């Protein structure tokens, strides 16, 4: 079954509680929570206090995408604030520190995950792939919602699917950026099983229908 993870970056923050209830009732699987530090990406978004508030109002798994430099510094804080999946970029620190971060996430009882920017080849995930529960292949440059899907990421999704199947078959393969009813089937066909969608879901009137449509159910 394909999982849908609405990115609340595109939600109306003045009514965040209602927005979350709405996607929960719409059948979302995870809540995708984008954290940006203004250094790793040229934008600043939401962080620990907002995550704490979201944790209080939903039982859904919180999928925290850390677009921050040296994420190892903040793992405990995000864990305490209620993250379930803690996802770090492999470009955000050295290989040793990334490995250390993944083992800390596991010890904290959370699900470790890694993300690759569009310019990072699939093979760069190899040192980490057996240690993670989810790999995210970015389908836009991280930093902003509402960008267009990069079709040249499809071969990389396919390559990552092969890598996962041979080295860690239980691992999930997520895509993030520009996902809509046109691009979702392409990613699913290439091997993704978790789709992040921000603007497409939050701009639509009927989120339940939209989530079903993205999942491939008409
Ligand atoms: C981008 C974020 C995404 C973003 C996706 O840096 O990681 O999660 O919210 O937004 P859409 O679905 O609008 O491309
Ligand atoms: Zn994201």
Q: Which domains does the chain have, with CATH numbers?
A: 3-215 (3.20.20.70)
Residue 19 DSSP class: H
Could you tell me if the CB of 7 is within 6 A of ligand 1? yes
pLDDT in tens, 89-132: 999 999 999 999 999 999 999 999 999 999 999 999 999 999 99
- At 91, is the secondary structure helix, strand, or coil? coil
CB 82 within 8 A of CB 64: no
pTM value? 0.98
Torsion of CA 80, 47, 105, 98, to 10 degrees: -150
* 152 is a catalytic site residue: no
Q: Give the per-residue pLDDT at 217.
A: 87
Tokens of 187: 């990613």
Report the 10 Å Cβ neighbour count for 154.
20
Could you tell me if the CB of 34 is within 6 A of ligand 1? yes
Tokens of 138: 């970015």
CB 125 within 8 A of CB 163: yes
pLDDT in tens, 141-167: 999 999 999 999 999 999 999 999 999
Distance of CA 54 to the CA centre of its chain: 16
User: How close is the Cα of 95 to the center of ligand 1, in Å?
Assistant: 25
Q: Which ligand number lies closest to the CA of residue 8?
A: 1
Q: Which residue has the higher pLDDT, 1 or 187?
A: 187
Residue from 176, 199, 214 to probe ligand 1 pocket by mutation (most atoms less than 8 Å from CB): 176
Catalytic residue among 29, 37, 133, 176: 176
Residue 42 DSSP class: S
Q: What is the per-residue DSSP string for 45-56?
A: ---HHHHHHHHH
Q: State the closest ligand 1 atom to the C-alpha of 146, by its place in the atom list counted from 1.
A: 13
């Amino acid at each position: 079954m394909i999982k849908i993870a609405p990115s609340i970056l595109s939600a109306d923050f003045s009514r965040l509680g209602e927005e979350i209830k709405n996607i929960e009732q719409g059948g979302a699987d995870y809540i995708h929570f984008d954290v940006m530090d203004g250094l790793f990406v040229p934008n600043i978004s939401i962080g620990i206090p907002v995550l704490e508030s979201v944790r209080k109002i939903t039982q859904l798994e919180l999928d925290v995408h850390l677009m921050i430099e040296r994420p190892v510094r903040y793992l405990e804080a995000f864990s305490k604030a209620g993250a379930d999946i803690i996802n770090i970029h492999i470009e955000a620190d050295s290989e040793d520190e990334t490995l250390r971060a993944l083992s800390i996430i596991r010890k904290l009882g959370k699900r470790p995950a890694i993300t690759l920017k569009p310019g990072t080849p699939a093979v760069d995930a190899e040192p980490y792939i057996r240690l993670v529960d989810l790999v995210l292949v970015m389908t836009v440059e991280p930093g902003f919602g509402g960008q267009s899907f990069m079709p040249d990421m499809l071969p990389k999704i396919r390559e990552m699917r092969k890598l996962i199947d041979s080295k860690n078959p239980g691992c999930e393969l997520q895509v993030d950026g520009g996902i809509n009813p046109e691009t979702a089937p392409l990613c699913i066909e290439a091997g993704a099983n978790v789709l992040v969608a921000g603007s497409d879901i939050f701009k639509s009137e009927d989120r339940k229908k939209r989530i079903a449509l993205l999942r491939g159910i008409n």
